[in-house]
Amino acid sequence: MATDECPKYPVVWYAGDELPTISGVFKDVDITGWTIELHLERPTTVLVKAASIVDAAQGQFLISWASTDLVAGKNQLAVLRATNASAEPQTPVRFLIDVEALPA
């Protein structure tokens, strides 16, 4: 899938934002023992954020931001990478995010 075919996340963040978080659910999947990461292609580096498992039995997870995570840039590619308890990776979701610079 080309980047221009990825959906745009419906939120615009500002550099340094810690909210809103990104929450997700693997419907009808128990994610006990899974590792879930978000890989974000920022303008000069790739950020890898580990998700917190909120409710493994219900498949719920959460991506939280630190104040240094989000840097200004349009159309930053975010790729969700999930690895199950058997160490089998999958990449179920790709989307674009926008991060604006704070006004002076």
Residue 84 pLDDT exceeds 80: yes
- Residue 4 is predicted with a pLDDT of 59
Which burial class, exposed, middle or buried, applies to 61 when counting CB atoms under 10 A from its CB (0-12, 13-18, 19+)?
buried
Rounded to two decimals, the pTM is: 0.90
- Residue 13 is predicted with a pLDDT of 97
Amino acid at 5: E
Q: How confident is the model over 72-98, as a mean pLDDT? A: 95
Q: State the Cα–Cα distance between residues 34 and 20, nearest whole angstrom.
A: 23
CATH topology of domain 16-96: Immunoglobulin-like (2.60.40)
